Structure formats: C-alpha cells, structure tokens
Amino acid sequence: MPTTLRIPKAAVSMREGTLVAWLVADGATVAEGEPLYTLELEKSTMDVESPAAGVLRQTGVASTTYKVGEVIGEIGEAVAAATVTEMRASLQRLVQVVPSLGSAMHSWARATGAGPFFTFPALAFKDYQHRGSDAAPSISVATGYAGEVLLELVELHDDTASPWREAGVGTLLPSLMVENLDAALAAEAAAGHEYVTRGTYSFGARFAFVDARASIGTLLHIVEKQFVLTQLTGVMRDASANWDRSSLTATLK
C-alpha cells in the first residue's frame, strides 16, 4: 500500500509550512529515513525524512505553502529491477519516426510483408508532458502487423519537442505493453531509466517514454493495456492474417 505524504505538524502552534525544495527526484527509489524535502516553518527550516521505503511520487510543488495535513505526495511500492527483464519479454511492437507515412508503409510492406496499415491522422493526447513541457506535438500514425510484431509509424508535422523528435527519423524504438504503467516506470527507475514523457492517448491508453540509452542505446516506449487498445490491436492482427494485399490500408469499422 502507498504511504501518503502530508505536511507534518512540527510545532504545537504550526498551522502551515512551505515546501522549500524536494531533495529526491520524482519517481526515484528512496529508503526509509532518507531526507525527502525541506520544510520551512515560521522561524526555522527542517529536512523531512521518508516514512517508508519505496518510489517517490510528488504532487506538492516547491516554494508553495501548504496547511498542516495537506497531501504533497506518496511513497509507492518499489518494484525490483529484475522485473524490467520480465517486462521486456512482452516486447510486441516497434515505433519508427518516418518522413512520410505513405512511402514508409510501402517500404515496410515490400520488405517484410507488413500490412494492412490503419492510419490515425492528427493523433490527440491528454495529460501530455515531455521534459517538463505540456506542449503536445502534431503527429500522424500508421499501424500494422509484420508477423507477430506491430509496427507504429509516426510522421511529425511540427517542430515541437517530443520523444519522437528526440529519437530522430529512422530510429526503431522498442515498445512494451504492460499491465500497470506506474509499476513499469518504477521498475525502469530502479534500473536507472527515468521517464521523459507521459501522457494518455485520446482512446484512453496511458503511455510513457523512458530514457534507456545508457543500456539499450535508445528511448523505450511503454503502453499500458487498456480495453479499447486491446480491441484495436485485435482487429489489426486479424486484418493482417486475412490480408489479400489488394489495398495497403484498411479502415476500422
């Protein structure tokens, strides 16, 4: 169970305190008793220690004053680093940034037999954030199966900073499907891979990118299983199995 972090009553007369600064990064694994943040009282400051071991999730904002008892975060359950290896067995898709969806679909179909592709122009996001910015990029996506692997081709339409632009045209990004995004990110953080992007696709599935370049040389895309997503990928898999190659693209019904 997560341990809720609240502004403590550090003095009899204390009614509020200022969260001066976090001493540990959001998403980092902490030990019980490790200093988490600096709290400013009326006439002094103090470092507040973690009440439990686990993964820090910050909701409080530095330099903000809170009333005693207000929630500023939580310590979630830590996930063993070994879980990363287990999750990577679920590698089911590859993401590639391409100059043009049309030419890329043709190239993949010729080279690997991938198809048919389902296109999603102007893919929208909710709760999107990349390296501290909530400016979402304009992208179009085409997805289709090549055997048992789902290909996700991404075309960028602007210069907004994003994990896709950071990866660069032509780079193949591994993508994992996981049961719980928060647990997956905790496992990656324990392995030294911090997330750089989080968001939710318009159809409801949560996703993230983590910086795994120190170990695998690239960013890692992680998507949480969700009902609509499972239905979509099932339709795409069936379309691939029954594809007569008369059309490169297909339409969701």
Q: Are 105 and 248 in contact, with CB atoms under 8 Å apart?
A: yes
Q: Are 71 and 50 in contact, with CB atoms under 8 Å apart?
A: no
Would the pLDDT of 217 be above 50? Answer: yes
> What digits encode the pLDDT tens for the residues 143-176?
999 988 999 999 999 999 999 999 999 999 999 9
pTM of the predicted model, to two decimals?
0.66
DSSP state for residue 11 in the 8-state scheme? S
Would the pLDDT of 85 be above 60? Answer: no
> What digits encode the pLDDT tens for the residues 29-83?
888 899 999 999 988 999 999 999 888 889 999 999 999 999 999 998 654 444 4
To which CATH superfamily is domain 82-241 assigned?
A: 2,3-Dihydroxybiphenyl 1,2-Dioxygenase, domain 1 (3.10.180.10)
Domain boundaries defined on the chain: 3-76, 82-241
Give the CA distances from residue 119 to residues 5, 128, 171, 193, in Å, rounded to whole numbers and listed in that order: 44, 21, 20, 31
Residue type, 111: A
CATH class of the domain defined by 3-76: mainly beta
178: number of Cβ within 10 Å = 20
Residues of the chain with pLDDT > 70, as a percent, come to 94
- Between CA 29 and CA 199 the distance in angstroms is 22
Q: Which pLDDT score, from 0 to 100, does residue 83 have?
A: 45
